């Protein structure tokens, strides 16, 4: 008796491998173009402005709220059980290593990742990408490299500012709502915890998140097909994929924090 194997799972595996292959080829193309900044510099500056300056208010707001929640929660849970200076340690640790990078990345997924995927997918379905090819232009130079590079370059300073905002808001809100907490306590706790490596880790994480958001959004956008509905599906897919990628990277990068 012969065993009949349905080809459907095999097709799924092959299609998955093909997608990974195309993503790898896109990554190789980016690396090959990077040494020629003249080809993408102007567009890169424009993208960096859009991603950095325009996202800053929302990033700072999110960081402010993140820091405020952390100090209040810590105060509420630890008051009477642990010394109050612990609040400073917890706020600094959680904001610098976790909340700063992750909240900033989530803001950029919504503001930048979705917009990149929608823009590129809509260019794909309206033949604008074909038009670039037809003119002998490389869409990777025009669309992908400036966005990915801007993501990698802009995320770290945004995260440093978010870290600062989160720590200061945690400090300020802590003084207002936690009975008995003084600035001296908070600063003592913060200094007790703080190691420079935590800040470097935060910046490295930001760079990795910046790459993941922009690369995946560009790749998924380029894979877009169909009409307006297809653009919608592509945008949703990009938001879901980049959010998952950020959380996976967040987990995967924890061992790096323990290196020093």
b/e sequence 228-242, b meaning 16+ C-beta within 10 Å: eeebeebbebbbebb
Q: Which of residues 94-133 bind other proteins (CB under 8 A)?
A: 119, 123, 126-128, 130-133
b/e sequence 207-227, b meaning 16+ C-beta within 10 Å: bbbbbbbbbbbbbbbbbbeee
Our finding on whether 27 is near other proteins (CB under 8 A) is no
Our finding on whether 79 is near other proteins (CB under 8 A) is no
Our finding on whether 228 is near other proteins (CB under 8 A) is no
Our finding on whether 137 is near other proteins (CB under 8 A) is yes
Least Cβ distance, residue 59 to other proteins (angstroms): 24
Our finding on whether 249 is near other proteins (CB under 8 A) is no
Least Cβ distance, residue 133 to other proteins (angstroms): 6
Least Cβ distance, residue 5 to other proteins (angstroms): 21
Q: Which of residues 139-158 bind other proteins (CB under 8 A)?
A: 141
Our finding on whether 81 is near other proteins (CB under 8 A) is no
Our finding on whether 192 is near other proteins (CB under 8 A) is no
Beta carbons within 10 angstroms of residue 196's beta carbon: 8
Among 1, 5, 8, 134, binds other proteins (CB under 8 A): 134
18 vs 130, which CB is nearer to other proteins?
130
List Cα–Cα distances, 243 to 29, 119, 179, 236, in angstroms. Answer: 24, 19, 37, 11
List Cα–Cα distances, 260 to 28, 105, 164, 205, in angstroms. Answer: 31, 24, 22, 15
Our finding on whether 11 is near other proteins (CB under 8 A) is no
157 vs 227, which CB is nearer to other proteins?
227
Our finding on whether 49 is near other proteins (CB under 8 A) is no
Residues that bind other proteins (CB under 8 A): 39, 119, 123, 126-128, 130-138, 141
């Amino acid at each position: 008796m012969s065993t009949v194997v349905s080809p459907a799972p095999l097709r799924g595996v092959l299609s998955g491998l093909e997608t990974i292959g195309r993503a790898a080829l896109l990554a190789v193309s980016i690396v090959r173009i990077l040494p020629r900044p003249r080809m993408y510099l102007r567009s890169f500056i424009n993208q960096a402005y859009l991603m950095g300056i325009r996202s800053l208010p929302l990033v700072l707001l999110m960081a402010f709220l993140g820091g405020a929640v952390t100090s209040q929660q810590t105060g509420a849970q630890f008051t009477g059980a642990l010394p109050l200076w612990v609040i400073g340690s917890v706020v600094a640790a959680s904001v610098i290593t976790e909340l700063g990078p992750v909240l900033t990345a989530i803001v950029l997924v919504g503001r930048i990742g979705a917009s990149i995927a929608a823009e590129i997918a809509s260019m794909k379905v309206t033949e604008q990408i074909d038009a670039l090819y037809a003119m002998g232009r490389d869409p990777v130079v025009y669309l992908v490299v400036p966005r990915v590079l801007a993501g990698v370059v802009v995320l770290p300073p945004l995260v440093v500012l978010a870290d600062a905002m989160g720590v200061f808001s945690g400090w300020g809100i802590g003084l207002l709502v936690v009975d008995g907490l003084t600035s001296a306590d908070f600063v003592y706790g913060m200094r007790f915890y703080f190691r420079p490596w935590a800040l470097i880790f935060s910046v490295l994480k930001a760079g990795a998140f910046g790459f993941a958001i922009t690369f995946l959004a560009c790749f998924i956008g380029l894979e877009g097909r169909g009409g307006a509905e297809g653009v919608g599906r592509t945008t949703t897919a990009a938001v879901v994929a980049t959010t998952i990628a950020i959380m996976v990277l967040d987990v995967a990068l924890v061992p790096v924090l323990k290196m020093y």
